[in-house]
Structure 1
Amino acid sequence: MSGRAAAVRFLGGALAGLVLFGGIWAGGFAWFVHDALRPAVMPPRADGIVVLTGGQGRIEASLRLLADARGRRLLISGVAPHATPASVAVRLQPVAPGAMPPPDMWARVTLGRHATSTIGNADETAAWARDNAIRSLIVVTAGYHIRRAMMEIGRTLPDVTLYPYPIQPPVLRDPYHVSSLRVIATEYDKWILASLGLARDMDAYGRRDGGGR
């Protein structure tokens, strides 16, 4: 076989491989988008609730669950260093306008200030769960993020029962817009890496390079 024929054969095989990979990726992505759009189902009552910050509507949803006594304690993981209970309290108004929260509600809220990534959220949640004897946990985050969040938290808390509570942020109101698809595709790729067990190594590398979430 001549060198040119070998090169053509190699390129043909590489192209076929790319087409196959692209088809598998696209099929998985279609499933991922459909999964992200599923409405939340009210979870059973649990020992605790954790909300992973980073998008609109997440904290409000978690406060609503706490006010409804779906969990006895709430961790808000990944808040800004300057956040205070008072700054979080303003989120309750759109949750229950004119309603008074339970008197002890804010005593049951913990602000987690250390997490800067989903893996950081999982580590922060695990420490908090151990400190508070949490055996069952409701996980609140965006619909496109819930799969990876459940996976990473499940790895740090293998003996804790997890209940997903995905919310629909603004980006999912028009999921087929180019900007929305870009956000979901980025999360889909991160979920694939997490499924392959590569996310924690990349997270550590990102922190060394000054990267974050």
Structure 2
Amino acid sequence: MADRGKWRDRAARRRRSRSMLRKILRRGFFALLALLAVFVAGFLQFADTVASMQPPPAPRADGIVVLTGGFQRIEQAVELLKSGAGRRLLISGVHPATTGSQIRRNTQSSADLFRCCVDIGHEAIDTIGNATEAGQWIHDRGYRSILVVTNNYHMPRSLLELRRVRPDTEFIAYPVVNSDLKTSNWLRNPLFIKAILLEYAKYSIASLRDLASEHLGNN
């Protein structure tokens, strides 16, 4: 009888263990679903925000900063400088082997314009580096407002990093729309989905980093 009682106790413990494991797995599954839903909702909101970005109709600021990553961005920034939208231009994150003369020729600009009003930054290798490089440039010149030129889906993270470095500076977005989410069926383009998902993930990580820093600072 004692052996039978021990067997029943062990069986009951096994049933309780299996029941507890099922509860943990079920709760973990629903938690994972909730996290996935939050991620998807955030991604769709991010994509909609990016798709809605438009350049200001009459851009004007003390200076202009363009974050490299495509020739179209630099060309647009130089055109803004030529039109008087800013007094000076910083081209941030230029490859060390690329010279100002090469950029000038590619943008069909005058040597006088580049000598007068264009600075080339070679130090930055990523968006955080762009913000650091631009922040020092802004500080050195005492600028209060900056036109930021970069790709539309890169703009949210660029503004986030720039405002972290220079919270007292007004940054005005001038997105270069070479990825038109409004008119193109981007959901059928795996390469573009991958690119914008990666950018959204980077933006989310940067946002969480700033929230964590703010929380620690308050404590």
Gap change, CA 1:55 and 1:6, over 3 Å in 2:
farther
1:181 maps to 2:196: no
Gapped regions of structure 1 (runs ≥ 5): 94-99, 202-213
- Looking at structure 1, the residues matched to 43 and 71 of structure 2 have their Cα atoms a distance apart, in angstroms, of 23
- TM-score between both structures, scaled by the size of structure 2: 0.81
State the aligned residue count: 194
Matches within 5 A, 1:1-213: 2-38=16-52, 39-42=54-57, 44-93=59-108, 103-170=112-179, 175-176=186-187, 177-197=189-209
Q: 2:217 — aligned with what?
A: none
CA shift at 1:129, angstroms? 0.7
Q: 1:211 — aligned with what?
A: none
Q: Please tell me the residue identity of whatever aligns with 1:186.
A: L
Larger CA Rg, structure 1 vs 2: 2
Q: Please tell me the residue identity of whatever aligns with 2:206.
A: A
- Looking at structure 2, the residues matched to 180 and 174 of structure 1 have their Cα atoms a distance apart, in angstroms, of 10
1:100-148 deviation line (CA, Å, top 9, x unaligned): 7594354211100000111100100011111112111011111111111
User: Which segment is superposed worse, 13-22 or 189-198?
Assistant: 189-198
Q: Please tell me the residue identity of whatever aligns with 2:144.
A: R
Percentage of pairs with the same residue: 35
Aligned-pair Cα RMSD in Å: 2.2
Point out which structure has higher relative CO (alpha carbons under 8 A, 6+ apart).
Answer: 1
Gapped regions of structure 2 (runs ≥ 5): 1-14, 214-219
Q: Could you say which structure has the higher helix fraction?
A: 2
- Looking at structure 1, the residues matched to 135 and 191 of structure 2 have their Cα atoms a distance apart, in angstroms, of 33
